[in-house]
A = this chain, B = another copy of it.
Amino acid sequence: MTHHGTMLDAARRTSVLERLRAHRPSILHAIDPFKVKLDQAVEKARALEELGFPAVILASTDWEDFDAVVDRFIDEIRAATHDLPILLHFPPRLGYGMPMVGAADATMYPFLLGSTDPYFAWQSYAETVQCLTDDPRRRPAREILHLAALTFGTDQPSHEVMALEPIESTRVRAERLLEMIEILGLQGAYLFSRYEMVPPSVCRIFREQMPSDKILFASGGVREPERAHQFFDAGVDFVVFCGALERPDWRPVLEALAAGAPVAGIPAAPRTLAVAR
């Protein structure tokens, strides 16, 4: 029996989820700990907290030596910030399951419903439960968010790692996915396009048809406030930007994105969220 908390215990907790629900709409930044140097990641996390971001995400499509790298990022970010939740967002790997670090506040668990390999749809979750139980050194994040993860447009890296096929941008396809989210009891959806843009029309269908307690992320190609605005106008709860800050002069870019978008600390003009119920 594992007494330090199981993955299923973590899945039952909702405090990060509730914090996110309470801070929408908001812009978020994802730092790739396998690309960004540790000292710069710490500086960025401190800047995010000062700007009122409700969380920082550590994310990557690839990972190696996960625990050693991510543990250090979490420790240093934790030491440099006051109360900034640290979320993880990584793909699982067959034979290992989902990489997690017990010190993280939450893992965004992607249910990749656009994968042709059911391992990435849900089976990795069962494997992760098994692997975490078998190896007592591995600990789940404190909370696990179950999210449908859907990718739009051609995306060779995601295809190679996770057998992902692009989601068609049609209402029929969106509604079928929404039904799966409901049946599987997922807590929201993460829409992503690596090289193109998640169609705002699809974002709108998701936000209008998902119950209001589910949360909607959109990500990919967000480098200027205009792109973020397009997503917020389409009803997205959390617009996530990643690569925009992967440059030496990241600070003015971050400030421009934060100034032009709703964050908890810098309220935007009042707007109405279109929610179904």
Contacts and interface: CB of A to CB of B under 8 A. Distances in A.
A183 B6 contact: no
A130 B127 contact: no
A185 to B, nearest CB: 3
A133 interface: yes
Interface residues of A, number: 28
Contact of A183 (B7, B135, B180): B180
A161 interface: no
B123 A7 contact: no
A121 B185 contact: yes
Interface string A216-243: 0000000000000000000000000000
A8 interface: yes
A184 B134 contact: no
Interface in A82-128: 113, 115, 117-119, 121-123, 125-127
Contact of A185 (B118, B129, B184): B118
A111 to B, nearest CB: 9
A89 B130 CA distance: 23
Nearest to A131: B8
A180 B183 CA distance: 10
A176 interface: yes
Nearest to A1: B134
A8 B183 contact: no
Contact of A118 (B1, B2, B184): B184
Contacts of A18: none
A267 B127 CA distance: 41
A97 to B, nearest CB: 10
A95 to B, nearest CB: 10
10 contacts: A1-B135, A6-B130, A8-B126, A118-B184, A121-B185, A129-B129, A129-B130, A133-B133, A176-B176, A176-B179
Given A2-B134, A117-B185, 13 more contacts: A6-B130, A7-B126, A11-B126, A113-B183, A118-B184, A118-B185, A121-B183, A122-B122, A123-B185, A126-B126, A129-B129, A176-B179, A180-B180
